[in-house]
Every structure is written in C-alpha cells, then in structure tokens.
Structure 1
Amino acid sequence: MSKLPVTIAVTGLNNSDNPGPGIPVIRSLRESRHLDVRIIGLSYENLEPGVYMDDLVDMVYAIPYPSLGHETLLARLTYIHEQESLDLIIPNFDAELFSFIKISDTLAGMGIRTLLPTQEQFDARLKGKLVEFGDRFAINVPKSLTVFNADELTDALGEFSYPVVVKGKFYEAYVAQTAEQAHGYFYKLAAKWGTPVILQQFIKGQEYNITALGDGKGRLMGAVAMRKTYITPNGKGWAGVSIDDENLLDMARKVVTQTRWGGGMELELMQEDSTGDVYLIEINPRFPAWVYLATACGQNHPDRLVRLALGQHVDPQEDYEVGKMFVRYSWDMICDLSRFQEIATTGEVAIRPMELA
C-alpha cells in the first residue's frame, strides 16, 4: 500500500522531566502505515530536546510564545508555510491552543489543516469550570473553587478539609497539608502561570488516565486507558500499564460524544479507595505525553487525527492490547554546538534537507 506524502508541523518538543507530547506524537506519525511524513518541529525554547533529535524531526523553526498573541503566531506560521508548504499542524500545549483555535480558519484558508476543539469546547473543560462541566454532563467531579488573590484563597480554604490540591491555571498541581502550604503553592503557581489558581478536593485512591480522540462530530475514534505505576514528586506519570476497564472507557465515550470534541484529549481520573467511585479530576485538551503507549497498544491516535483532518474515511477503533507498559528514562544526546547556535541566531535549522527527508 502506497503512503500519502504529508508535511506536518508539531509543537511540544520538550522532553525532559516534564515532557511534552510532541516527541511521542512524532514517533507515532513516523510509524504510520498510511502516511509518509515530513516533520516540521515548532520550538519555543532553543534547548528543547526535539531540536536535536535527527531521527525524528526534519526541520525546526522557532515560534513565538503564546503570550505574544495569535497575530504574531500567524505571521510566523505564514513564513514557515511559505518555506515548507505545510499540510497540517498538531499543537500539543494547553497554553497555545487558544491562539491556534483563534487562527484555525485562517490556516484552513492557507491550506493548513487542524483538528481542534472549538473555543466553547475548550473553555467548558477549564479546570476552574470542572464542577459546572460535571453537572452538565452528569459526571462525578471533585469539589473545586477558583481563587484570584490571597484573600479569596483564605476564604476558599475554609470550604475544604485537608489535604487539598492546589492547581495551576495550565499546569502543575500540589497537595497542601496546611493553609501555609496552600498559600505558598498559590504564589508559586500564580507567578508561573497567572491566575486563577484552582483548589480541588483531594481524592485518595488510584490514578488512571485515558488518551482519546474525537472527530468533532460526536464520535469517539479511539481510547486507551492506563494505570500509573510510578509517579514523580511533580505528579508526572513515569511508568504505566494499559488496562481494560469498561467503566473508564465509558466515561471517555460520554465526554467525547456529548461535547462533540474534535482532536486529542486526556482524561485524568481517580478511583476513591473507600467507595470505589471514579472522579474526573481534569481534562487536558490535547494528546498526553504518554500517547505513544496507545500506539504501541495498536491505536495510533496521531495517525488517525491526521487522516481525519485530511478528510479521509476513518472508522472508530475500540480494541487495543492490554498489559503493555511504558517506562520513561533519561538519555544524554551529544550534539554539535553549531546546532544550538543556528536555531538561536536564525530561528530555524535544517536537520534533514528536503532531498534527504
């Protein structure tokens, strides 16, 4: 079977102790049985490891931080498109999605496809709106409150018993055992990600995650459930195993079909030890950093997203291999300083020239 040539830009090339989804998305695309991919890495930092991974990325361009606004991003993407003739972009960071959603119609007019949630869908699953989301779709969620300043935090803490989870607007979460700890985490998260900061009821139990893909029309195109077997002090899953739990998969199906979600998403779930009840604690509006596990289990979600975005017929997939395990590790790459100098000074670097790609 001949493969379809396609040029895909991918963000999220960081792959350190808090890895982004970009590298596992690229690994999945490289293993596609349907696509012959040329990968254009989009980098926010000059030392993102993906900039130096010769076997995964063909070309890298620096792009502006989301805080600089969608017009600045569009101008940069227009230049990159002129050089590379992009067919599709897969953004992989929560903080950048607002801008990509904002310019998605303009990108489509340029011939660049995306498969993203609408702004309404994106906003509905915000951490600060999780209780409203649970009420709307009849899904168990922990009690949550949003706070914008220290006074509101003091009042809100009176509504919870300890421990309490303190969550950043986009990323990071800490478990506070005292009010003093909660205030410390509030200032740390507010300084890094801005406000609001979210307080959430602590659920003692086993953590599960689901990577899922929606077609934007109400169909769940694939979902794989995973149980975390090792969690870092920062709360990141460093090892996990694929499981078959129909109750968990039903929740993914419910969320995707009722919201008519378009694109990848991750559901973070907790099963309470004392009651066995499952709570939805967070919805991440993009593929997770462990999405390559789904590919290894037989569901290549990035490949399916691309084919959906290109208008190809793709059937939903339910089966996957259970008992597959992932374990993350550190690996020192040795690179020439010239690579860093080039991306730092010109904002772009050719890893594999077009004729060799």
Structure 2
Amino acid sequence: MPTSPSPLPASNTRPRLTVAVTGLNATDSPGPGVAVIRALRETTDFDLRIIGLSYEALEPGIYLRELVDKTYQLPYPAAGTAALLARLAHIREREDVAVLIPNFDAELFNFIKLEPELRALGIHTFLPTLAQLDARDKLNLAAFGAAYGFSTPASRPLHSAFEITTAAETLGWPLVLKGRYYDAAVVHSLAQAEQAFARLSGLWGVPLIAQQFVAGQEINIAGLGDGHGRALSAVPMRKLTITDRGKAWAGITLEDEALLALARRFAEATRWRGGFELELIRTAADELVILEINPRFPAWIYLTAAAGQNQPAALLRLALGLPVTMMEGYAVGKMFVRYAWDLITDHTEFQQVAALGEL
C-alpha cells in the first residue's frame, strides 16, 4: 500500500508567531502562565516562540526552557501604566510579540487600559473591558448576582478589624475572609478572624471581603467568551484535593448540563470577552452558588486542552481576529494531579534575571 508523505517540519508548514505570557509562578499557589503555555504549545495553527513575562527572579516558569524561549521582567502593577508601557515597548523592539496573554488579576487593569497603545505597537490582546472587570470584582459580586440573576453569597467590605464583629452578626459564623485579588481564610471565631485579617491585609491591603460561608461541593468552570454573548468553550471540574490555601491540587472533568448552562448564561449576560473561571459551590439542595468570578484563565487550564477544548489556543486566534468555532464535547473523567518537582538551574541564570531583568 502507498504510504502517506512524511510531514514537513513545523517551521515549514506553520507561520511563526511570538506570544508573551505572564503568570510564571508555578508554586503551591500557582499562576496560570505555565499551564497556558503548555496548552499553547499544542496548537497546530502556529510555530510558537514563547516570551515569558515575570515579576520576580524566582518564578519557576522562567527556568522551564522547554516551554519558555526567553523571559523579561516587568515592573510591578503598582508602578502604573506608564512604566509598563515603556517596558513592553522595549521588549517589542527586541521581540516580534504579536499577542500578549496576561494571567494575573492584579495586572489586568493596566493591560486593559493600555490596549490601544499595545495595538499601536503591534501587540494584540483579547481581554475583558474595564466595566466587565469591575462588575465581577469580589467587592461587587453580590450586586452582580442580583443584577443578572445568579446566586451569590452575601458579603461586605472590611476596612478594619473592628468591623469583623458587625460582619459576623450579619453573615454568621463561620465567615470567609478574602483578599481583594487572592487568598482566603475560613474563620470560626473572632480571634481567628482578627488573626486572618492581619495576615491578609498585610499581604493585599484593604478592603478585605467578608463573605457568607456556603457549605457544599466545590466546582470550577473554565470558559472562554467571544465578547458577543457566546461561551465558545466551557469545561467544568470538581476539586478532588485542595491545598491549605484552597487551591485545587487534583481535579476531574464533569458531565453536567447545569454547569455548562450556567457558563453560557454568564457569557450571554455579561458579553464576556476572554478567559474566565467560575468558582462555585453546589449545595445539598443542588443550588449552584457563585463564590468568585476570575477574569482570566485558571491555573488548571491545561486540563481543558487535555480534555479536548484548548481554550488558550482559541484565545490566541481571537486576539488575532481569526475565526473560532464553538467547541462541543470534551473528555469526561479526565483528571489532573499536581506534583512538586525540583527544577535545577545554574546560579548564573538567576543572577542574570535578577541583575538584567531577562534570561
């Protein structure tokens, strides 16, 4: 029988494309960047050069050279848009970055504000609008739920530890205290709450969010909105193991039409643009309560690619203005299990990142 011709090397059949990705802190509370890059590496559309964008010299993703071709450090989000734009313009002079995918909540405001300037540099993004970002903020979640008909826990801002008692009288014990962008603690007494307030406010500032505790099964949904009211992809996952910080350490994809319908309703109601994650509780009464809406891909996003819906690869096409069809079907029962791994590098590489801001 005749044999099929051997495929040509990827560089001869696929256009070369440079993509920059943030969120390289693959620790016990990982950023999404490494998982996003793993998914991007599986695209059949492009031959990718991946530029890592880091904030600290010890972010493990910097040294995963099989995934990241080159890394540059960015100024912290608190430095503002001018410092970020200057750094990205410098990087763009050296790297032909066509698409940039931010993966941290705290950095999104600056990147969204800079979208016109980045486009002028030739850098494309596909991000939510500032209005969308603000509407799903933890401080506004209860109002968001009321406006769109989603079930959300009652909550209130905490500007000082003196407000905990009043919050507990309204919301009851146990109470969930959350940082503005990251981190949370379930507290069962005033003493625990005061201790958690000191820790969280020290890390993330105030206000913190006091949220009503909801018991039930923890479920997350990773989705991709096209900006016109459609969820192009939605993959639900049930947490099997969590860390002491509440992060999923193992999870499994679920077949559940109610979860998919919720993701579609969210995309339709908000006309969401880009990646998102819904953090849910399914109560004993089978009610789906939205605890958080994260405005970017989650750290477990590679599971969507493994299950058959590669959301980061689809977002790449959206950023470039290329068509993306609705993704139907995914592998149910596909699992992920995280693990710790000692990544070995040389001190000269760390020194180069720390001193020069690139590797």
- The answer as to 2:310 corresponding to 1:300 is yes
The structure 1 segments of at least 4 consecutive aligned residues displaced by more than 6 Å after TM superposition are: none
Deviates more, 1:3-12 or 1:87-96: 3-12
- The question of whether the paired residues in 1 share the 8 Å contact of 2:155 and 2:171 is answered with no
How far apart are the structure 2 equivalents of 1:295 and 1:4?
A: 21
- The answer as to 2:280 corresponding to 1:277 is no
Give the one of 172, 175, 193 matched to 2:204.
Answer: 193
Query: Which residue pairs with 2:111 in the alignment?
Result: 100
Map 1:43-58 to 2 at 5 A. 43-58=54-69
Query: Which residue pairs with 2:126 in the alignment?
Result: 115
Query: Which residue pairs with 2:340 in the alignment?
Result: 330
Query: Which residue pairs with 1:354 in the alignment?
Result: none
Give the one of 107, 132, 137 matched to 2:148.
Answer: 137
- The answer as to 2:158 corresponding to 1:150 is no
Give the one of 69, 85, 96 matched to 1:85.
Answer: 96
Q: Secondary structure at the match of 1:39?
A: strand
How far apart are the structure 2 equivalents of 1:36 and 1:189?
A: 42
Task: Name the amino acid aligned to 2:215.
Answer: K
Q: Secondary structure at the match of 1:31?
A: coil
Q: CA shift at 1:3, angstroms? A: 2.3
Give the one of 25, 36, 53 matched to 1:42.
Answer: 53
The one-character-per-residue Cα deviations of 1:103-125 (angstroms, maximum 9, x if unpaired) are: 01110111110000000000000
- The answer as to 2:267 corresponding to 1:256 is yes
Query: Which residue pairs with 1:287 in the alignment?
Result: 297
Query: Which residue pairs with 2:43 in the alignment?
Result: 32
How far apart are the structure 2 equivalents of 1:3 and 1:105?
A: 28
Q: Between Structure 1 and Structure 2, how many residues are aligned?
A: 348
- The question of whether the paired residues in 2 share the 8 Å contact of 1:147 and 1:198 is answered with yes
- The question of whether the paired residues in 1 share the 8 Å contact of 2:158 and 2:208 is answered with yes
TM-score by length of 2: 0.95
Query: Which residue pairs with 1:128 in the alignment?
Result: 139
Task: Name the amino acid aligned to 1:47.
Answer: L
- The answer as to 2:240 corresponding to 1:229 is yes
Q: CA shift at 1:97, angstroms? A: 0.4
- The question of whether the paired residues in 2 share the 8 Å contact of 1:238 and 1:328 is answered with yes
Give the one of 320, 329, 340 matched to 1:319.
Answer: 329
Task: Name the amino acid aligned to 1:339.
Answer: E
Q: Secondary structure at the match of 1:183?
A: helix
How far apart are the structure 1 equivalents of 2:274 and 2:46?
A: 18
How far apart are the structure 2 equivalents of 1:208 and 1:4?
A: 38
How far apart are the structure 2 equivalents of 1:298 and 1:102?
A: 33
Q: Secondary structure at the match of 1:128?
A: helix
Query: Which residue pairs with 1:209 in the alignment?
Result: 220
Task: Name the amino acid aligned to 1:94.
Answer: D
Q: Secondary structure at the match of 2:97?
A: coil
Q: Secondary structure at the match of 2:171?
A: coil
How far apart are the structure 2 equivalents of 1:236 and 1:27?
A: 19
- The question of whether the paired residues in 1 share the 8 Å contact of 2:164 and 2:190 is answered with no
Task: Name the amino acid aligned to 1:26.
Answer: I
Give the one of 45, 70, 73 matched to 1:62.
Answer: 73
Q: Secondary structure at the match of 1:33?
A: coil
- The answer as to 2:10 corresponding to 1:10 is no
Q: CA shift at 1:318, angstroms? A: 2.4
- The question of whether the paired residues in 2 share the 8 Å contact of 1:230 and 1:238 is answered with yes
**Aligned-pair identity (%):** 51
Aligned alpha-carbon RMSD (Å): 1.0
Instruction: Give unmatched runs, 5+ long, in structure 1.
Output: 350-357
The one-character-per-residue Cα deviations of 1:132-151 (angstroms, maximum 9, x if unpaired) are: 00011101111111111223
- The question of whether the paired residues in 1 share the 8 Å contact of 2:250 and 2:337 is answered with yes
How far apart are the structure 2 equivalents of 1:255 and 1:186?
A: 31
How far apart are the structure 1 equivalents of 2:120 and 2:267?
A: 27
How far apart are the structure 2 equivalents of 1:347 and 1:260?
A: 37
Task: Name the amino acid aligned to 1:303.
Answer: A
- The answer as to 2:209 corresponding to 1:184 is no
- The question of whether the paired residues in 2 share the 8 Å contact of 1:9 and 1:88 is answered with yes
Q: Secondary structure at the match of 1:210?
A: strand
Query: Which residue pairs with 2:319 in the alignment?
Result: 309
TM-score by length of 1: 0.96
Query: Which residue pairs with 2:7 in the alignment?
Result: none
